[in-house]
Amino acid sequence: MTTADHSAASAATTGTTVPGATGADGFTHLDGDGSARMVDVTAKSPTVRSATAEATVLVSPDVLAALTGGTVPKGDVWAVARIAGIQAAKRCAELLPLAHVIGVHGATVDFEVGQDRIRIIATTRTADRTGVEMEAMTAASVAGLAMVDMVKGLDRSVELTGIRLLEKTGGRSGTWRREDCG
């Protein structure tokens, strides 16, 4: 099949969908034929939305001492992880194929140091037609990956875990908070 044939076949099976309608078996991201599709949000009005997510990096006492003492050989782990997380939030739609390209109008990445762990808290904000939950989770995840990359030379057993959404606000469904987060 040539590129032109593939494009024509793809256009013929795409069809028109009603914004917000469900497709095959009630799934929003499948069309009537069961093919993946991006939900059409053009008819939705932009609203202010935010989301907060976390990730945890488990570290040895030696790595924790290097992090808190600023002696990690690769440099400023905190700055690299923070910038990596913010950059990742802005590029979420490039990583997740059905995520919408939205304007991330605010992103923060913060850290809490524990006895054997670093808790990463990422918050994203927008005024758009769809939420920023995946952007917050991507920010927390990639900040954690950057931290692992910066310290893995000190201890290869460093572990990224516990990636989860903590809260989201705005949009049709309003506010949601994870119950076990206080």
Residue type, 121: I
Active-site residue 149, yes or no?
A: yes
**Degrees (nearest 5) of the Cα angle 182, 107, 89?**
105
62, 76, 116, 149: the catalytic one is: 149
CA atoms within 13 A on the CB side of 75: 4
Residues belonging to the active site: 149
